[in-house]
Amino acid sequence: MYTMELGDYKYIFEYDNFEDLKEQMALTKATHKEILEEEAKYNKVNNAIEIQKENNKLKFDLKEMTFAQLEVKFVAHVKESVEETNKVLKDASYKAYANTFNKLKRYFDNENIVNVSYERFKAFRNYLRNEEKLSNRSINGHMNYVAMFLEFARENLKIIDTNEAKRVSSLKEPKIEKENFTKEDIKNIFDYNFSDYHKNIFKVLAHSGMRISELYNLTSEDIKKDENNIYFFNLDEAKTENGNRKIPIHKDILEMVLNTSFPISSKSINAFNKEMLRQLYKVIDKNSSKSIHTFRANFISECINNFPDRINIIQEINGHSQGTKSITIDRYAKGFNMKLKKEIVDSVNYN
């Protein structure tokens, strides 16, 4: 008795002598090859049947598409697009999509999106205002997402001919006048009994004009020194060309920065931002328009008030567009002299 295992198959046969064994082995291998060929044909046909079943199921789903089903397909599409382009989509974006989809599912329930009219989307907008008591700004944000979801249904899924959500007009948003920190605010912030960690973060923001996301993304390698021994923050991970810039480190925070470990936090950017806001609101009224970003506004105001004739340099320090002059500076001058920029940065004084 002889047993031969080929892949997932086991063959058992008897033989009388060695020659008989060789013959049986040859026959078995030939038979195994035929079995594999037939198996491959079967799998091919079976896969084709399964694919057709899925296609039929997809067609059925598309005809009866609810917002719950659209959410699954939309998020899958976004994730696939992100993977293909090697981009990074923040968790906050997915949460924002989910938030709007939850409101759509709550309002429309199992209603077929193919049948949802302009009047129904307008009623949904009014529901967000009257029932959920959202601000006009929040409602406009949700409606922009709704239009995005419907555009995906129209363009990618081909299940609607027109995007009725796009026709819904935006609500008028009250203009919010942004306030800067007063001198008293600044004094209260720097006199408050924060931990050194939190107080130093506020000091860096106040003396550099960086956005909190830019500070969050700093590494130790981004603290550099030029040929004139001027230390600077080297920002080169910004979304725009103007955002990539070199900010001289203010004389009042230099020693502290050189003794600080970067990255500044191991938390997510969202968690880090919330943490710093909680700290700030220990001193500043959270119902005011003042926020972490206000440090940047104060810094820019100080720079402009001290050097009103050097707006272009101040724009470069803070990563703002300089219009047509920016082209000349970037192409030929390669940015303003670090000494000029440091003079402006060091002039910022909150005492």
Q: Is residue 175 part of a domain?
A: no
Euclidean distance between CA atoms 293 and 276, whole angstroms = 11
Identify whether residues 193 and 151 lie together within a single domain: no
Identify whether residues 192 and 333 lie together within a single domain: yes
Beta bridge partners of 5: 10
For residue 81, what pLDDT is reported?
A: 84
Identify whether residues 234 and 219 lie together within a single domain: yes
Identify whether residues 217 and 287 lie together within a single domain: yes
Give residue 133's pLDDT band: very low, low, confident or very high (50, 70, 90).
Answer: very high
Of 45, 63, 81, the position where a domain reaches its end is: 63
pLDDT tens string 202-221: 999 999 999 999 999 999 99
Average pLDDT along the chain = 84
The phi and psi torsions of 281 (rounded to 5 degrees) equal: -70, -5
Identify whether residues 102 and 247 lie together within a single domain: no
Looking at 17-26, 147-156, 228-237, 299-308, which range is the least confident one?
17-26
Residue 332: give the domain boundaries.
183-346
For residue 331, what pLDDT is reported?
A: 42
For residue 15, what pLDDT is reported?
A: 56
Give residue 1's pLDDT band: very low, low, confident or very high (50, 70, 90).
Answer: low
Identify whether residues 189 and 129 lie together within a single domain: no
Looking at 34-48, 79-93, 95-109, which range is the least confident one?
34-48
What's the whole-number mean pLDDT along residues 107-113? Answer: 93
For residue 21, what pLDDT is reported?
A: 58
Give residue 80's pLDDT band: very low, low, confident or very high (50, 70, 90).
Answer: confident
Give residue 22's pLDDT band: very low, low, confident or very high (50, 70, 90).
Answer: low
For residue 202, what pLDDT is reported?
A: 97
Q: Is residue 176 part of a domain?
A: no
Q: Which pTM was predicted? A: 0.54
Q: Is residue 133 part of a domain?
A: yes
Give the residue, 299 or 351, on which the prediction is more confident: 299
Of 17, 47, 63, the position where a domain reaches its end is: 63
What's the whole-number mean pLDDT along residues 137-165? Answer: 94
The enclosing domain of 226 has a CATH number of: 1.10.443.10
Q: Which distant-in-sequence residues (6+ apart) come within 8 Å of 76 by Cβ?
A: none
Identify whether residues 286 and 214 lie together within a single domain: yes
Euclidean distance between CA atoms 345 and 214, whole angstroms = 17
pLDDT > 70: what percent of the chain?
74
Q: Which distant-in-sequence residues (6+ apart) come within 8 Å of 28 by Cβ?
A: 4, 6, 11, 13
Identify whether residues 150 and 213 lie together within a single domain: no
For residue 150, what pLDDT is reported?
A: 95
Give residue 193's pLDDT band: very low, low, confident or very high (50, 70, 90).
Answer: very high
For residue 16, pLDDT beyond 70: no
Q: What's the structural domain count of the chain?
A: 3
pLDDT tens string 296-345: 999 999 999 999 999 999 999 998 765 544 444 444 445 678 999 999 99
Q: Is residue 178 part of a domain?
A: no
What's the whole-number mean pLDDT along residues 239-257? Answer: 84
Identify whether residues 56 and 83 lie together within a single domain: no
Q: Which distant-in-sequence residues (6+ apart) come within 8 Å of 37 by Cβ?
A: none
Of 167, 202, 223, the position where a domain reaches its end is: 167
pLDDT > 90: what percent of the chain?
64
What's the whole-number mean pLDDT along residues 12-19? Answer: 61
Q: Is residue 235 part of a domain?
A: yes
What's the whole-number mean pLDDT along residues 47-76? Answer: 71
Q: Is residue 297 part of a domain?
A: yes
The enclosing domain of 144 has a CATH number of: 1.10.150
What's the whole-number mean pLDDT along residues 136-156? Answer: 94
Identify whether residues 151 and 245 lie together within a single domain: no
Identify whether residues 125 and 202 lie together within a single domain: no
What's the whole-number mean pLDDT along residues 131-154? Answer: 94
Euclidean distance between CA atoms 73 and 91, whole angstroms = 18
Q: Is residue 351 part of a domain?
A: no
Eight-class DSSP state of 252? T
Structure tokens at 187: 């004094």
Residues 208, 247 contacting (CB under 8 angstroms): yes
pLDDT tens string 218-238: 999 999 999 999 999 999 865
Identify whether residues 76 and 43 lie together within a single domain: no
How many helices (H) and strands (E) in the chain?
14, 5
For residue 332, what pLDDT is reported?
A: 40
For residue 325, what pLDDT is reported?
A: 47
Q: Is residue 163 part of a domain?
A: yes
